[in-house]
Amino acid sequence: MPRLRNVALPVLATALAATALAGCGGSGSGGGGNTVTMWTYPVIFDEAKNKEYWDGLVKKFEKKHKGIEVKVETFPWANRDTSLATAIGSGKGPDVVYLVPDQLPKYARNIVPADDYMPEKARADYTGFALKSVTAQDGKLLGTPVLTSANPLICDKRVFEKIGEKEYPSTWEDLEKLGPKLKKKGYYATSYSGDTQQTLNLTFYPLLWQAGGDVFSKDGKKVAFNGKEGVRALTYLKKLVDGGMTDKDLVTTTPKLEQTPVAKGKVACTWQNTPADVEPFWGKKNTVVRPPLKDAKSIGYGTVGALSMLKGANTEAAGDWINFVAEPENAAGLEKQSSNFPARKSAKELYGDDEVQSAVGDTLPKMNAGPVKDKAREAMGVLAPEIQHALLGKKSPKKALDDAAKAAEAQLARR
């Protein structure tokens, strides 16, 4: 898994995780000792640099906090939910674990709310986006943010030069109007991955939010993606696919990035990749960062990496470690080496010498991390294939969304 923001969501792993957690009342390696065990994942993709960062931070922490030992273990992204849920269920889970927003509800019953150990001064320092992304329906903080990310619209400058265009799209209408001109010259307006193993956070949900819709109702008790906004979003997306404004093969397959039209310089703009993804193919000077597309509103997907404490941990020791990692000067290495951004207002600018990354950072206030609600992944699991059916012409957008809603409501009923 090259970057945190490109996480796919296998339905099988989700189901196994839910099963393992169902009968588990507590977790953590625990024992109340002064050893804190943390599980994380390769947010810093380079293995050596990842180890260097965590080893250095542990050494710095242990020097400052005598008598507390920290063990950081890095696990693969693949099947992480299954592994974590199994460990928790057998009482062998970690004290602290790195989670992203849509994982948090799954482990809520096993998490010690960050409200119990986060200093008030630190809480006031977090951005609204960071805090909202880890806040449960009951208002409790399910994790301590240590980084944020953004997926704005990015455009290939070379493509626009080839068709003689100087203006970049800012609305759905703008992108659609470019379609015929781009198609005539052998280019796609955008790229959409409809493979059901891809997370809808990166693909369909931004369009749903831009249309003014949401995945769930405000109280979280019902799905809302099949409302008029969802139908509008899927109808627009189908128009792009049917009109040849995106590669139709990608509706059912996910080739390696280097094999896609994006990497080959055949796509004008995309919201499903970041500058760090495309830089090896486009070059930094050809990467143009724009705010997310707008229909009713301009909004895109971004996420938050957070550290959560599991029940059974030594609250004081684990809390000291989490708060230490989250301090701006300590989190900076994790953020910059993973091409991500700070979660705190007081953090220093990380990319002052990098115009592209700085431009991405400017779009963070427009980002949404998706629903922090139970059954969010289950809803995604039934919605993704129905979206694919609509794009392949097997169902109308309305029918596909209604069928997905019916299946998702059945999932919600089994709380």
The per-residue pLDDT for range 74-99, each reduced to its tens digit, is: 999 988 999 999 999 999 999 999 99
Together in a domain, 320 and 225: no
pLDDT in tens, 275-330: 999 999 999 999 999 999 999 999 999 999 999 999 999 999 999 999 999 999 99
- Structure confidence at residue 5 (pLDDT): 36
Tokens of 118: 């986060």
Together in a domain, 146 and 292: no
Measured in whole angstroms, how far is the alpha carbon of residue 413 from the centre of its chain?
A: 26
- Structure confidence at residue 373 (pLDDT): 85
Measured in whole angstroms, how far is the alpha carbon of residue 72 from the centre of its chain?
A: 23
Give yes or no for residue 125 having a pLDDT over 90: yes
* Separation CA 190–CA 245 (nearest Å): 6
Together in a domain, 63 and 144: yes
Contact 53, 334 (CB under 8 A): yes
* Separation CA 177–CA 110 (nearest Å): 50
Question: Would the CA dihedral through 380, 383, 385, 387 be positive or negative?
Answer: negative
Torsion of CA 260, 263, 267, 269, to 10 degrees: 120
* Separation CA 282–CA 88 (nearest Å): 43
Which residue, among 366, 376, 392, 1, has the nearest Cα to 206 in the 3D structure? 366
* Separation CA 116–CA 38 (nearest Å): 18
Please provide the distance, in angstroms rounded to a whole number, between the alpha carbons at the two ends of the chain.
31
Mapping DSSP to helix (H, G, I), strand (E, B) and coil, where does residue 212 land?
coil
Of 368, 387, 404, which closes a domain?
368
Which residue, among 272, 213, 237, has the nearest Cα to 387 in the 3D structure? 237
What percent of the chain is predicted at pLDDT more than 70? 92
User: How large is the greatest C-alpha to C-alpha distance in the chain, in angstroms?
Assistant: 68
Helices (H), 65-132: 80-89, 120-125, 128-132
Measured in whole angstroms, how far is the alpha carbon of residue 372 from the centre of its chain?
A: 11
In 332-342, which positions are buried (b, 16+ CB within 10 angstroms) versus exposed (e)? bbbbbbbbbbb
Together in a domain, 277 and 385: yes
* Separation CA 334–CA 304 (nearest Å): 13
- Structure confidence at residue 133 (pLDDT): 96
Q: At what angle do helices 328-337 and 47-64 cross, to 10 degrees?
A: 170
Together in a domain, 348 and 386: no
Give yes or no for residue 140 having a pLDDT over 50: yes
pTM of the model: 0.88
- Structure confidence at residue 29 (pLDDT): 46
The residue-averaged pLDDT of 240-268 equals 96
- Structure confidence at residue 415 (pLDDT): 61
* Separation CA 115–CA 152 (nearest Å): 31
* Separation CA 199–CA 178 (nearest Å): 27
- Structure confidence at residue 33 (pLDDT): 64
Together in a domain, 30 and 77: yes
Q: Which of 141 and 414 is assigned the larger pLDDT?
A: 141
Domain count, the chain: 2
Count of CB atoms within 10 A of residue 62's CB? 14
Together in a domain, 383 and 354: no
Give yes or no for residue 158 having a pLDDT over 90: yes
Together in a domain, 388 and 268: yes
Together in a domain, 36 and 138: yes
Together in a domain, 405 and 353: no
Which residue, among 209, 218, 213, 217, has the nearest Cα to 229 in the 3D structure? 213
Tokens of 266: 């055949």
Q: What is the DSSP letter of 63?
A: H
Count of CB atoms within 10 A of residue 402's CB? 16
Together in a domain, 203 and 294: yes
Q: Residue 20's pLDDT band (boundaries 50, 70, 90)?
A: very low
The residue-averaged pLDDT of 9-30 equals 39
Together in a domain, 26 and 113: yes
Q: For position 133, which CATH number holds?
A: 3.40.190.10
Give yes or no for residue 137 having a pLDDT over 90: no
Which residue, among 195, 227, 221, 191, has the nearest Cα to 209 in the 3D structure? 227
> What are the angstrom distances between the C-alpha of 270 and each of 176, 245, 280, 408?
13, 12, 16, 29
Which residue, among 169, 134, 162, has the nearest Cα to 148 in the 3D structure? 134
Write out the residue range of the structural domain in which residue 315 sits: 4-150+303-368
List Cβ neighbours of 282 (8 Å cut-off, separation of 6 or more).
156, 157, 158, 265
Q: Residue 375's pLDDT band (boundaries 50, 70, 90)?
A: confident
The residue-averaged pLDDT of 128-143 equals 94
Give yes or no for residue 124 having a pLDDT over 60: yes
What percent of the chain is predicted at pLDDT more than 90? 85
Contact 321, 327 (CB under 8 A): no
Give yes or no for residue 31 having a pLDDT over 90: no
